[in-house]
Structure 1
Amino acid sequence: MLMVDASGLPLAVHTERASPGEVTLVHATLEASFGLDFPQRLIGDKAYDRDPLDAELAALGIEMIAPNRKNRKQKTQDGRPLRRYKRRWKVERTIAWLQSFRRVRTRDERKAENFLGFVQLACILILLRQISG
């Protein structure tokens, strides 16, 4: 899981095994932030369209922006917040930046802690490139 700011710079990264759903990892990703405050808004895909998650994030002061699932009876998102959803490409770009590091792309590490360390190191290098460039 990866959380980025409006310009695509990594703010938090969390690794987990492949089986848990992304919705269950939101709080762990928020807690893994690099010492920054919680964001005002989170943008996610349709999997994040859940009422309990919306309520939990609203209690923390975070607005969840996710398109409605097609089987939702009562629509919760209108057009205005969903315009921000179009900026989700910035997360995909940051993931592409991370894929330029071979040890992150191929995951040669056996231990999850070592892999997380390499992902965090890659995030630091991305931050340094953007700040110095």
Structure 2
Amino acid sequence: MSPWIVSDELWDRLEPLLPQRERRFRYPRRKALPDREVLCGILYVLHTGIQWEYLPQELGFGSGMTCWRRLRDWNEAGVWQRLHEVLLAELNAASRLDWSRCVVDSSHVRAFKRGSHTGPSPVDRGRAGSKHHLITDGHGTPLAVLLTGGNRNDVTQLLPLLDAIPPVRGRVGRPRRKPDSLFADRGYDHDIYRDQVRERGIVPAIARRGTRHGTYRWVIERSFAWLHGFRRLRIRWERRADIHEAFLKLACCLITHRQLDSLC
């Protein structure tokens, strides 16, 4: 099955989260394109990296602008965040989330159209870019993702990433949103942030400058490989940051859903 075809399992989890569309008064007899077909069009863009205006309508996705608007509206309604929480809760109920440790890192991507949340590349100051900041559990399952300018220091997003972990349900007791330990490379080497991580009851395992990066770096590198396997995320084409963030969150949902599929 093509990766942009929405499976019944994913649709059953997503459909209850979609907001109800308001009645159309300008063209009351024109039926709106079904949400599931629009989602297939959004996934087609995410997987292939094609521009919105070149979205093949003969596949039944509708126009690129229709898909763009739905992606924007669903992101504003918090659909992707709630879907991610639902998927994480199912993984947690199956004991497939490794809370013994989490791993953080970032990845730089070019931003040809600039826009908000962009900045000079650390390698080439003449080229604008953005950073994807990611935190995963010990298995590499995304817990939260943030978007910043390419010139933002990694360590400044360490605490925001921890705060962005949602309360994960699925087990008896209070929802969990805090791992036991945190692994990071030398880019996060700062004693002030180590102390702040300890104050949250998390053991920091952050590599110091002049030493090796650490044992679990491969976990986050594999997660970034999964994330950037979606061609739309390899280069930032969106001028608006919220649209690129929507793609990021949707990709994290799809990666998490794959983890659920592996249970079957």
TM bucket, shorter chain: 0.7 to 0.9
**Structure 1, gaps ≥5 residues long:** 71-76
Question: Quick one: which of 132, 150, 164 aligns to 1:32?
Answer: 164
- Code of the aligned partner of 1:103: R
From the superposition, tell whether residues 19 and 117 of structure 1 become closer, same or farther in structure 2 (CA, over 3 Å).
same
Select 1:5's aligned residue among 126, 132, 137. Answer: 137
> Which of the pair is proportionally richer in strand?
2
Q: TM-score, normalised by structure 2?
A: 0.44
Q: Distance in 1 between matches of 2:225 and 2:166?
A: 20
Q: Deviations over 1:100-128 (max 9, x none)?
A: 11111122211111111101100000011
Question: CA offsets per residue over residues 31-90 of structure 1, 9 Å max, x none?
Answer: 2224341222111111212110011111111111122213xxxxxx9xxxx8xx312201
**d(CA) in 2 for partners of 1:35, 1:101:** 27
**Corresponding residue of 1:121:** 250
TM-score computed with the length of structure 1 as normaliser: 0.84
Shift of 1:99: 0.8
Q: 1 or 2, which has the higher helix percentage?
A: 1
RMSD after superposition: 1.9
Q: Residues 1-133 of structure 1 correspond to what in structure 2 (within 5 A)?
A: 1-36=133-168, 37-70=177-210, 85-133=214-262
Structure number with greater CO (CA < 8 Å, separation at least 6) is 1
Aligned-pair identity in percent equals: 36
Distance 2:141 2:204 in 1: 19
After TM superposition, which residue ranges in structure 1, 4 or more long, deviate above 2 angstroms? none
Separation in 2 of the partners of 1:94 and 1:68? 23
Larger radius of gyration: 2
Superposed displacement of residue 9, structure 1: 0.6
